[in-house]
Structure 1
Amino acid sequence: MERERVVHATCGIDWAEDHHDVAVVDADAGLLAKLRISDDAVGFQNLLRLLAEHGDSPDDPIPVAIETSRGLLVACLRASGRQVYAINPMAVARYRDRHAVSQKKSDHQDAVVLANILRTDASLHRSLPTDSDLVKAIAVLARAQQDAVWDRTRAHNRLRSHLREYYPAILDAFATKREPLLAREARAILAIAPTPAEAARLTRARLRTAVRQAGRQRRIEAETDRILEVFRRTWLRQPPLVERAMGRQTLALLAQFDAACHACDDLARETEELFLQHPDAEIITSFPGLATLTGARILAEIGDDRTRFAQAGDLKAYAGSAPVTRESGKSRHVTHRRIKNSRLAATGRHWAFAALTASPGAHAHYNRRRSNGDRYHAALRNLFNRMLGQLHHCLACHQKFDETTAFNQPTRSPLTAAA
């Protein structure tokens, strides 16, 4: 069993945009030093010099607590080989009351509070993981791609809401699609006909050219005739001057939407290429419902530091799939977690939904939870919780997913089932 290291000094950093306040305390809560550093290379060198003056060494680096897990300062601190703890600002606010009930606040005081958090409760907080640079790069791209998807959805909804006010024909032409304006044909037609008047004047040849240039290769003639028929129906219209103005607004919104679509596609391609270079990619994508992109999102959030989640329960709590129990007196309430990694939880919902059709065992598990009274989201969350535990095991043992082992349920005879 690894012996716990005795911490002689701890450091707290109150982060700001252009400067940072640093405090170093000893094991008895005595303030050893305080310093305000600039947010540049000179400030970082001053920080290292201050830590070295109070016992910091490559073999025994002083741990650091800070309220953020991102930025150049955090990256450089992690590269120095020391433990860096990203403390939630809400937790810092509660620790602050232990030192001053007057509710006074200052940057220096917050730095001291952060240092004392490590001095007293370092074992209750988790240091930032020692992930490989490859995983860090995958995380940057995967999160950027996920943000781009959310931006694309917002841009789609904004454009769709605008079109409903004056141009319902274009929405009706692609109403069978879940997100109608994601269709390349819809965007190509909007670019040449941003108003109902221009759509009604489209010739068959021009519309056919737009459909072909959008990438359609089959049933071009039939698609052209269908769209023309929709445009030439009788629709409610805005006044001509207002309609032209709204058409100009459509072109502006369409440019934003096109940019978001291209960003999603480009980032997805780069994320997948980088993810496939990681040795864990083969294990992750062996799970039903995990394609290359969703697998990259999973790896980006859990990382490849095997010491980060010692048990599967730790990973499940981090993802928000494990329930949380609140007890007080005779009251006991079990509910889902609200404090979680939202990106991992969102990816988990997609994973569990896709696994329903990709894995008979996952589908049977989902049906069993529904028959026991779970609602749709609760049953999906429970399935994600189970498969996340299986993923933790497979990554720890370096083995691929096996359907029989993962969902090994005893079979019932027809007589038993009838009974």
Structure 2
Amino acid sequence: MIYCGIDWAENTHDVALVDDSGQLLAKRHITDDAVGYKILLDLLGEYGDSEDNPIPVAIETSRGLLVAVLRTGTRKVFAINPMSAARYRDRHSVSRKKSDPGDALVLANILRTDMHAHRPLPQDSDLARAIAVLARAQQDATWNRQQIANQLRSLLREYYPSALEAFAKWANGLCRPEARELLKAAPTPARAARLTRTQLQAALKRAGRKRGIEEEADRLRDVFRAEWAHQPPLVEDALGKQMLALLIQLEAACTAADDLANAVEDEFPRHPDAEILVSFPGLGVQLGARVLAEIGDDRTRFADARGLKAYAGSSPITRASGKKSAITRRWVKNDRLNHAGYLWAFSALRGSPGAMTHYRRRRDAHGDWHAAAQRHLFNRMLGQLYHCLHHRKLFDESTAFPPSGQEMETAAA
């Protein structure tokens, strides 16, 4: 058995091959281009790499062109956490020396000794991987949009409280097109107070508003012309220019989030698992795509539902030492899936009577706090999702949350 370890970098990579006894068979220093990839594949082929018996590879990343080349065929690629690799390095040397060829050798020996303890990259379909790229990018764009909106809100509090009051009743506040259009038309409260009813209506129409334009323009005019505290004129103008610069970033972030959301809506329904995912209460296209992006469509990735729950961080973990024992939530988890699960459980409370009953039972009978009750609900629904995906079944409310005890008697009466 031959094992390969690759210490990757931006421009070059170090490769090491070892056998079952740990003897170094070969080492190479390759470039990060098509020529370097060919040298790597030729080296693996020289030592017996084939479609039927591929050489497993350990590397400290799960993405990039090098990983894409290695994942062709049936080869197992193991993405080793850099912290784990650092701990393994101490097994071979206590002097704390470090080198790139040495790190490649360490990675190869990780597979030689403990390959069973590490999980290879899942064999997801190309469509699932494409959806993962789009869903994660859309999630990042949404977070970035909210971060810029928070910065803008903090700036408006310093000199433009009338704008915050005017946009307070709108859902999504500063991220709405109407808010951005009005801020471009009037970057300072002094200019906002001089806006006429006609100008306000024109700004709302440019933002795409179709109904209630006259009433909304009157309300905005009253808010902008009310009595507010002001910064000195020169300072107010300077803050207005700073706000316009931040508004340009918010416009770009909103456009990126919307475009990526449209791309997700185009690709996600094409996946065979999409119908099962959106059948669950609380899971729509965007949130369902985020869940699919993190769990993939490789059914051999998780041995059972417990593995999926641990990966998502929804199941508790026990820490015991001597006479002390504590059950706490998991800190090491897939943060993206855990965040999607929080939104999923929160949305399911309105879409599923069984989910609401389960949540209330955790709050009232077990004394859980809100976050703990939602995490428990997410944990249960994640197990249901695992079952439905493996058996190709849609979500069924009566099966997922069957009535029991007094609830059954009430239902029968």
Bin of the TM-score, shorter chain as denominator length: over 0.9
Within a 5 Å distance, the mapping from 1:325-404 to structure 2 comes to 325-371=318-364, 372-404=366-398
Partner SS, residue 120 of structure 2: coil
**Paired letter, 1:182:** C
Partner SS, residue 202 of structure 1: coil
Q: In structure 2, which of residues 162, 166, 181 is the aligned counterpart of residue 188 of structure 1?
A: 181
Residue ranges of structure 1 left out of the alignment (5+ in a row): 1-7
**Paired letter, 1:387:** M
- 1:213 deviates by 2.0
**Paired letter, 1:92:** A
Partner SS, residue 6 of structure 2: strand
Partner of 1:407: 401
What is the rounded CA distance, in whole Å, between the counterparts of 2:387 and 2:47 in structure 1? 42
What is the rounded CA distance, in whole Å, between the counterparts of 2:82 and 2:216 in structure 1? 55
User: Is 1:262 the equivalent of 2:262?
Assistant: no
User: Is 1:72 the equivalent of 2:60?
Assistant: no
What is the rounded CA distance, in whole Å, between the counterparts of 1:86 and 1:362 in structure 2? 36
Q: In structure 1, which of residues 222, 225, 234 is the aligned counterpart of residue 227 of structure 2?
A: 234
User: Is 1:290 the equivalent of 2:283?
Assistant: yes
What is the rounded CA distance, in whole Å, between the counterparts of 1:159 and 1:415 in structure 2? 55
- 1:197 deviates by 1.0
Q: TM-score, normalised by structure 2?
A: 0.97
**Paired letter, 1:402:** D
Partner of 1:322: 315
What is the rounded CA distance, in whole Å, between the counterparts of 1:352 and 1:376 in structure 2? 11
Q: In structure 1, which of residues 8, 11, 15 is the aligned counterpart of residue 4 of structure 2?
A: 11
What is the rounded CA distance, in whole Å, between the counterparts of 1:319 and 1:140 in structure 2? 19
What is the rounded CA distance, in whole Å, between the counterparts of 1:71 and 1:241 in structure 2? 50
Misfit runs of 4+, over 2 Å = 176-179, 413-416
Q: TM-score, normalised by structure 1?
A: 0.96
RMSD value, Cα:
1.3
- 1:415 deviates by 9.5
- 1:177 deviates by 3.9
**Paired letter, 1:239:** P
Partner of 1:4: none
- 1:35 deviates by 0.8
User: Is 1:20 the equivalent of 2:13?
Assistant: yes
- 1:204 deviates by 0.7
Q: In structure 2, which of residues 107, 110, 116 is the aligned counterpart of residue 123 of structure 1?
A: 116
Within a 5 Å distance, the mapping from 1:48-127 to structure 2 comes to 48-127=41-120
Residue ranges of structure 2 left out of the alignment (5+ in a row): none
- 1:80 deviates by 3.9
Structure-2 change in CA distance of 1:414 and 1:37 (3 Å):
closer
Structure-2 change in CA distance of 1:413 and 1:32 (3 Å):
closer
**Paired letter, 1:184:** P
- 1:178 deviates by 5.6
**Paired letter, 1:185:** E
Structure-2 change in CA distance of 1:247 and 1:413 (3 Å):
closer
- 1:45 deviates by 0.7
What is the rounded CA distance, in whole Å, between the counterparts of 2:271 and 2:408 in structure 1? 46
- 1:219 deviates by 1.5
Q: 1:7-64 deviations in whole A, cap 9, x for unaligned?
A: x110000111111111111000111111111001111111111111212112101000
Q: 1:314-353 deviations in whole A, cap 9, x for unaligned?
A: 1111111111111111111111111111111111100000
Partner SS, residue 270 of structure 2: coil
Partner SS, residue 272 of structure 2: coil
Partner of 1:144: 137
What is the rounded CA distance, in whole Å, between the counterparts of 2:316 and 2:44 in structure 1? 41
What is the rounded CA distance, in whole Å, between the counterparts of 1:335 and 1:273 in structure 2? 40
Kindly tell me the number of residue pairs found equivalent between the two proteins: 409
Partner SS, residue 363 of structure 1: helix
**Percent of pairs identical after alignment?**
63
What is the rounded CA distance, in whole Å, between the counterparts of 1:307 and 1:137 in structure 2? 20
Partner of 2:26: 33
